[in-house]
Structure 1
């Protein structure tokens, strides 16, 4: 039987922890036998979880006997991982144990040096911070999970389910993994390279910026042909001056800002309207459905149709459940 150790630390995120327990605990072979033994372990008998306390039946010694170690993410207020935890992870890695992280659990693997020189992912909100703190890690912010063989990382908690199903499929084949996916009410077909759905928020405008009026005008006129000359003329500046000040204050070029604004408009329409893609392409100012599909996929990482399938009606649903 394959032993899976779920390593929990103070302020562990309960949903992250639940993903491996759910998948590996429910997996069955065709004859009904359990192929996995799941053990929850911690450096102390009790840890703070979000939002409850958790007693772990096993200590760090369980890591030495595990075939797979899963490291869930911890909340922002969590202290740095103890040295004995990092040492135990390093020892397990040196022994050839498979080690995976869920969401921001990647920070713990990175702190142990296990991601140095490897591709890795985490939740897109934390990707820049992971890259800043651990420059030797090749951070991939727009995928669901990364499989380096022995070391694996996943994005958000739902992507942790994807990663666990991927490991089941790797261990036991697609038929067993498909049954585990059905038990978890999850699709098996989402692949690691599928992009995370990232909502690109509007960049903040510096207080009192002279760009505020032209930015508001751009938002109101996304359906128009917004050339650099048109934007510069609206701002009352020369094209060169406008481009320089825009980059200084907004951290990007005017045309890239317009592209992101159009994508935001398209995301809103895909979520909250039944308009066909062709109409949304025109409303958001992309010119043609072909250009819309190509640029939307480049920025968001998936097609407009896939984005709508995932998020259509979520605002109305939120209102009904609030």
Structure 2
């Protein structure tokens, strides 16, 4: 995992299977092969269960180099991609045995997107911190309680195991590996060449769905949650919610902790934050209006909430999600000669760094 100073090429082995997601494979491949153009030395091989070509989730067919059982050489990096059929794959005992066998012959094992479920089902994430696509972080935590899931991380390194978030996050993880093994200069050149961020701003939270009022057993609490979701800008102080429910503030706090899993203030802020996200994504109202309508009151309060929770400002969030940057009838903006990589190092600290 440390900087590779030797002359031996680093072997990257990628397991593929029917229904694998294409970008989970090609993203890392592009990073490592691009690194070879800037001083890195990587050798890539694709393996399948039987050595035969596989059909991806997109319907394309992939040729492979060998069967997994014939891959006797120890790899420096083992990549386990994901696919939309992950819930079926984790029940495939033969595939899980292959994953365990390849891991035993690898110095570093990484997963992309829902590939984390394969690692978890194989027992390789027990006692480790990990992440996966934001849509599936709760499912990963629920199915595999021995795994410490970090839902907002773009990628997580825990010892010699690394896991990444959805799809394109495999590029972020691969860039971090290149930086660790070949140095920041090589990783920076790869990022510039691929026109991607070397370290993204923000976390997976900015891609989450709108908050839905959690199911609560108490009808009275459900009404309180519904009222907050229906009118995020309303008066939702602890005392106000307790008064409307006809209970004490202490009892209201206890109900939130027991049935919602958070504090009243935190729940209200989350609903307001997601209401503000929706307004910024779909409209052009001034930030001050968004702050007032969503219940934050002032632009500064809104900005602090965005930076604290999403690691981006409201204005940056709007720019990132309203458009790709190309408007009808306008010329496509040219990328800077240096690309978006800039001077920021990738680093394993990107656990919790932003999203493309």
Kindly state the Cα deviation for residue 284 of structure 1 after the two structures are TM-superposed. Answer: 1.4
Cα distance, 1:190–1:214 mapped onto 2, change above 3 Å: closer
Aligned to 1:142: 152
How far the C-alpha of 1:256 sits from its partner, in A, is: 4.1
The Cα offsets for residues 15-36 of structure 1, whole Å up to 9 and x where unpaired, read as 21221122112223446xx622
| 2:64 maps to which of 12, 32, 56 | 56
- The 3 A distance-change label for structure 1 pair 276 and 309 is same
Taking a change above 3 Å as real, the CA distance of residues 73 and 243 of structure 1, as seen in their structure-2 partners, is: same
Equivalent pair of 1:199/1:300 in contact (CA under 8 Å): no
Q: CA deviation digits over 1:202-253, x for unaligned, max 9?
A: 325779x677876665456433433344445656x44568778888886766
Q: 1:118 aligns with which of 107, 122, 128?
A: 128
Q: In structure 1, what is the equivalent of residue 20 of structure 2?
A: 12
Q: Does 1:109 align with 2:119?
A: yes
**Given that residues 103 and 160 in structure 1 are in contact (C-alpha distance below 8 angstroms), is that contact kept between their aligned partners in structure 2?**
yes
Does structure 1 residue 154 correspond to structure 2 residue 164?
Answer: yes
Deviations 1:170-223 (A, max 9, x none): 1111222122112322111338xx52123242325779x677876665456433
Report the 3-state secondary structure (helix = DSSP H, G, I; strand = E; otherwise coil) of the residue aligned with 1:78: helix
Cα separation, partners in 2 of 1:292 and 1:80, compared to 1, 3 Å: same
2:46 paired residue number: 40
Displacement of 1:118: 1.4
Higher RCO (CA-CA < 8 Å; seq separation 6+): 2
1:163 CA drift (Å): 0.4
Distance 1:2 1:146 in 2: 21
- From 317, 323, 339, the equivalent of 1:307 is 317
- How far is 1:151 from its partner? 1.1
Structure 1: gaps of 5 or more residues:
318-322
Distance 2:222 2:144 in 1: 36
Uncovered stretches (5+) of structure 2, i.e. residues with no partner: 1-8, 328-356
Q: How many residue pairs align between the two structures?
A: 311
CA distance in 2, matches of 1:214, 1:204: 9
The separation in 2 between residues aligned to 1:169 and 1:184, in whole angstroms, is 15
Contact 1:11–1:78, Cα closer than 8 Å, also in 2: no
1:193-232 aligned at under 5 Å gives the runs 194-196=202-204, 197-203=206-212, 218=228, 221-231=231-241
TM-score, normalised to structure 1, is 0.80
Report SS of the residue matched to 2:170: helix
Task: Please give the TM-score of this superposition, normalised by the length of structure 2.
Answer: 0.73
In the TM superposition, what is the alpha-carbon distance from 1:299 to its structure 2 partner? 3.9
| Contact 1:262 1:284 (8 Å CA) reproduced | yes
Root mean square deviation of aligned Cα: 3.4
1:66-98 Cα offsets, whole Å, 9 max, x none, are 221111012236333644544444344445521
8 Å Cα contact 1:5/1:63 also seen in 2? no
SS of match in other structure, 1:103: coil
